Amino acid sequence: MKLPPYFDLAQFDEMAAILNQYPLVYVNTINSLGNGLWVDPTDDTVVIKPKGGFGGIGGQYAKPIALANVRAFSQRLKPEIQVIGTGGIYNGRDVYDLILCGASMVQVGSALYEEGPSIFARLKQELAAEMQAHGYHSIEDFRGKLKIMDAEA
Ligand SMILES: Cc1cc2nc3c(=O)[nH]c(=O)nc-3n(C[C@H](O)[C@H](O)[C@H](O)COP(=O)(O)O)c2cc1C
């Protein structure tokens, strides 16, 4: 199941309650941010062609939304449903952050389109370096272990 991005805690609650009723193995979050619009400043034209300029937005803009959706669903889904984290991956730290928020796997969209399949070897190498810097040997050592701040502090 590939999910659109959600922005309200009530939406996370409601969608997770629905998904938990089904024998899903993976939920992939997020799909692109719906119907954005991008202007090319060199000639004042739209950059996205098919719908008069309207289209899904991915890449760097998607990362904070992806992190939040991955975190929210990994906290709410039953343990047998794993989360595939998608949105804003350009380097190994981006992959690391999605895993830290609860992803078991990741998907790469925009950066794969820009860089081609060789990106996977680079991401793997950069993720390994990031894990080594933190003393982690496996993904389970840090998956979902995002540190949060005490609201009283
Ligand atoms: C060229 C391109 C084509 C895409 N086509 C689809 C698609 O057919 N179905 C889908 O669910 N998502 C599609 N997406 C969205 C991506 O799967 C992904 O959810 C989104 O772009 C966010 O990830 P990103 O920041 O790595 O691009 C596409 C993205 C790109 C860049």
pLDDT 10s digits, 133-150: 999 999 999 999 999 998
Residues with CB under 6 A from ligand 1: 2, 30-32, 58-59, 62, 86-89, 108-111, 113
> Ligand 1 pocket test: which of 110, 115, 119 has the largest number of ligand atoms within 8 Å of its C-beta?
110
37 in any annotated domain: yes
30 in any annotated domain: yes
pLDDT 10s digits, 68-105: 999 999 999 999 999 999 999 999 999 999 999 999 99
Output the pLDDT for position 129: 98
Output the pLDDT for position 152: 74
pLDDT 10s digits, 114-125: 999 999 999 999
153 in any annotated domain: no
90 in any annotated domain: yes
Q: How many domains does the chain have?
A: 1
CATH of the domain at 36: 3.20.20.70
152 in any annotated domain: no
* For residue 153, pLDDT beyond 80: no
The parent domain of residue 13 ranges over 2-141
67 in any annotated domain: yes
99 in any annotated domain: yes
pLDDT 10s digits, 17-72: 999 999 999 999 999 999 999 999 999 999 998 899 999 999 999 999 999 999 99
**Identity at 99, one-letter amino acid code:** I
Output the pLDDT for position 151: 81
146 in any annotated domain: no
